[in-house]
Amino acid sequence: MKNSDWLTNYDATNETFWQNEGKKIAWKTLTITTIALTMSFATWFLFSVVVIKLPKIGFQFSDNQLFWLAAMPGLAGGLLRILNTFLIPMFGTKKVITVTTFIKIIPLFMLGFAIMDPSSSFGYFMFIAFLLGIGGGDFSSYMPSTSLFFPKKELGTALGVQAGIGNFGVSLVQLLSPLIIGLSIFSFMGGGEIVAETGKTIYLENIAFIYIIPLFLVGIWAWFSLKSIPVVASFKEQMDIFGDKHTWYCTLTYFMTFGTFAGMAAAFPMMIKSLYVPLDSDLDPLIFAFYGPLIGSATRVIFGKIADKTGGAILTHITGIALIILFSVLIFGGFLTPKTMDQFPYFVGIVMLIFFFTGIGNAAT
């Protein structure tokens, strides 16, 4: 363990060390891990786009099945976060970030080839969706890693920048996917699917294959550039957090804030498809999908520094109250059982506000 990959004398609480050496190391680490995290989020939310297009190229999945495909990466990510919580103290930043970056390439290959095979079953897509949950699970490795490199006074800003920019990966995949599926980039692999409604050829497999090379390059960058900080804590000492009531309080508040962000980001395109496309067949859910995650991500970056000054409690309270009001309006205002397209702008506006407040809450927690 005591080799050049480990920074055994790193001390972010020492102001002299921080100014002379620590700050440079910390921000270099933050840059690499933030880019890696952005790629994690992009792969994690691939199915939020894929489920919109699968029926158009001949896959006979029900709306219920499509919602399950959109939800599975989130469910898997939640479970895998428990495991990832313990990886940084055991193996260090360098190994964990590198391995989790490389491993996401496997389900991307699987997804691309599954899309090109019209006989691919719902169960197989569910399995791939579960594996893509790795991109959500490793989020709980990034946060502890960053916490080791920064002093407490700058930690809110660092975490806000990392998580906020990382969350942009959701908008990235939802914004770029409609553009890249029209390009025959990987046609040499035998792709290309006919859209029954229009007769046009799209390349839906691009959504998966396009991220393989960036992930590989980021993995190489992480391996050769990252360092690790030793954590002196036994497994039992790490498990002690489960006996602390504040662990569960923070879990509940984060479930409210980030759980809402992730759940709505995954479901929003399918909500438009199932609720409003029947009222207007020309409506494209992906035109609107990326705005919400974009707003939530930007808000998280901005309010990270504000949370350092105000403390997290007040912002968490504001978020909780706002979300209760907004979801009440969404449910009881009839926007989930629309009768006309006149309700659609209000539906989108309410959802955008939900994303805005989840960004504030994520920064606070």
Which pLDDT tens digit goes with each residue over 21-50?
999 999 999 999 999 999 999 999 999 999
* CA atoms of 19 and 36, how far apart (whole Å): 26
Using DSSP, state whether 188 is helix, strand or coil: helix
Pairing of strands 201-202, 193-194: antiparallel
At 1 the pLDDT is 45
In tens, the pLDDT along 320-329 reads 999 999 999 9
In tens, the pLDDT along 93-146 reads 999 999 999 999 999 999 999 999 989 999 999 999 999 999 999 988 998 899
State the sign of the Cα–Cα–Cα–Cα dihedral 203, 73, 44, 209: negative
Give domain limits for the chain. 1-243, 244-365
Domain spanning 1-243: CATH superfamily: MFS general substrate transporter like domains (1.20.1250.20)
Could you check whether 1-243 and 244-365 share the same CATH topology? yes
> Mean of the pLDDT values across residues 191-212?
83
Specify the residue for token string 């055994």: 8
In tens, the pLDDT along 133-153 reads 999 999 889 988 999 999 988
* CA atoms of 359 and 342, how far apart (whole Å): 28
User: Which secondary-structure segment (H or E) carries 46?
Assistant: helix 46-53
Question: Could you tell me which residue, 193 or 327, shows the higher pLDDT?
Answer: 327
What Rg, from alpha-carbon coordinates, does the chain have?
A: 21
- The CATH number of the structural domain formed by 244-365 is 1.20.1250.20
